[in-house]
Structure 1
Amino acid sequence: MYQEERLEAIIDYLRTEKRISIEQICSIYQVSRDTARRDLVKLEEIKAVIRTRGGAILPSAHHKIRDYTNRLKHVSAEKERIGKKAASLILSGDRVILDSSTTVQACAESLSEEDCTVITNSIHQAGILAGKRGIQIHLLGGELQKEHGFLYGSAVLDKLANYHVEKAFIGLVGISEHGLTIAHEEDGMVKRRMLKQAEQVIILADHSKMEITDFFKFADLSEIDIVITDREPSENMMTVLEKNHVELLIADTEETG
């Protein structure tokens, strides 16, 4: 496991358990105590955790974790599986929207050189797709959010309004009975416009996003068609999805080959 993958795994563990010890890191991820300490030092440097005597806890500002996760160069195994499953839904001739999330980035990385057209507001997605010969890329121009590499603002929204696509692939921070949410309003406004321009809206969300409600709501569950995730949600979440006629796709371990 690469360090970036392990750091994200530690963050996922903390989201559930709230604290982790050096011993637990060594046991769970099969690393030495020195490696475990270095991991926690790295996470503390970017303010993703608060180090304690013998371990770490989450900071009170939970959005810091999401900021770091979005900066990881390597997506997790769960996101890779979800991205590959999403890419399999893109057919030759399709016109699709890809947003700026890291899970959707995994979709872009898995996309074969199909004859398709991609509209995106992500400079990362555009860069990945530029090396795939069969794909036409429309990069939406606007104000650049430097830390996360996405374009936003009125110019992006106005341009999006002129497109009609078969599918939109959207990432998020939380999905719950309260709807689809994201940490930043400017990002949410773009996602809201993206899903309105698509015949089919496909949400990419790993298990850590289930039953989470964040700062800005950009859509209701009734506005989406499919959720792709890496494991079966809770019974309550399954009921909520069924009530809103949302189809659930599970990306199994076989998806990564």
Structure 2
Amino acid sequence: MILEILEEQQFASVKSLTEQLHSSEATIRRDISKLAELQQLRRIRGGAEVLESGDREAQRPSLNSSAFLLDREKHTATKRAIAERAVSLCEEGDSIIINGGSSTYMMGEFLNRRHLKILTNSFVLAQELVANSHNQVTLPGGEIYPRQGIVLSAFDNDTIQYYHAGKMFMGTPGIGEFGVMESDPLLIRSEQKLQRQSDELVILADSSKLGRRSNLIFTPLENVDVLITDSRAPEKMIALLEGAGIEVLIVEYVESD
């Protein structure tokens, strides 16, 4: 995970790595030392930096990126319940869109038993569905972003424009009075293209995401049709979302998360 972060950022401080990997400074420093001994990175004051390509062996990046895997490990049982509720909204033969993310990836377990037409930019979800289900799966053209496990295109003319769906399912870093949040402009552009091809927008967000802000807004609340969350969601926040015309569906929070 440290190596993947360095591949993307070129440099990372110990403090930054502890925050991204939810680990202690002692562990991060120990891992940096080991990787430096293996000549996988260069140890510098306060952190580490990537080696020049000629100084290290070429490494194929893992498709299940560190960012994707780490997020999958948070609130997994509750996310699974949210994903199951999301799939229950689909009728056999429906055409749906699923945006990449840890919450939507968990829909795969329940989609395996269905027969739907699915457009997804989640490379990892597409692999899961093709291997284990009879769903018709379509991927948009574009570049694979390994750490996020998604496919993004810089061009307007791709598969997406020819697809129409009744529902689009997506997760979010946060949702609140300002709308549905996102963390990167490239993701927003891709998600807005997907949203234009669907009739309804369904947001999957466990209670920890409610009221949380990010640096960018994907879409205002008025464009959200359904939110699926858990029983720890604050009543004030539910009232806010319902007041904006959103149907809020609640699953039971699972203590074993």
Letter paired with 2:237:
M
Supply the distance in 2 between the matched residues of 1:157 and 1:82 (Cα, whole angstroms). Answer: 33
Cα 1:151–1:244 change in 2 (3 A) is same
What corresponds to 2:151 in structure 1? Answer: 151
Larger mean CA deviation between 70-79 and 120-129 belongs to: 70-79
Give the Cα–Cα distance (whole angstroms) in 1 for the partners of residues 133 and 112 of structure 2: 9
- 1:230-249 mapped onto 2 (5 Å cutoff): 230-249=230-249
Distance in 1 (alpha carbons) for counterparts of 2:236 and 2:68? 28
Q: How many residues align?
A: 199
- Encode CA deviations 1:123-149: one digit per residue, 9 max, x unaligned: 111011012342000011112212111
- State the AA in 1 paired with 2:231: R
In the TM superposition, residue 215 of structure 1 has moved relative to its aligned partner by 1.6
Question: 2:141 matched to which residue of 1?
Answer: 141
Q: Aligned partners of 1:70 and 1:101: how far apart in 2?
A: 7
Instruction: Please say which of residues 191-200 and 168-177 is displaced more in the overlay.
Output: 191-200
Matched, 1:163 2:163: yes
**TM-score calculated relative to the size of structure 2:** 0.70
Equivalent residue number for residue 22 of structure 2: 48
Aligned position for 1:71: 69
**Percentage of matched positions with identical amino acids:** 28
- How far did residue 112 of structure 1 move? 3.6
Residue in 1 aligned with 2:10? none
2:55 corresponding residue in structure 1: none
Q: 1:225 to 1:122 in 2, by over 3 A?
A: same
Return the offset for 1:50. 4.6
Q: Which amino acid aligns with 1:136?
A: Q
Contact 1:228–1:249 (CA under 8 A) maintained in structure 2: yes
Letter in 1 for 2:91: L
In 2, the alpha carbon distance for the partners of 1:45 and 1:230 equals 26
Equivalent in the alignment of 2:198: 198
Name the CA distance, whole Å, in 2 between partners of 1:82 and 1:157: 33
In the alignment, what sits opposite 2:208? 208
Does residue 117 (structure 1) correspond to residue 117 (structure 2)? The answer is yes
SS in structure 1 opposite 2:100?
coil
* Most deviating of 190-199 and 213-222: 190-199
State the 1:157 CA deviation: 6.7
2-side partners of 1:206 and 1:213: how far apart? 14
- Structure with higher Rg: it is 2
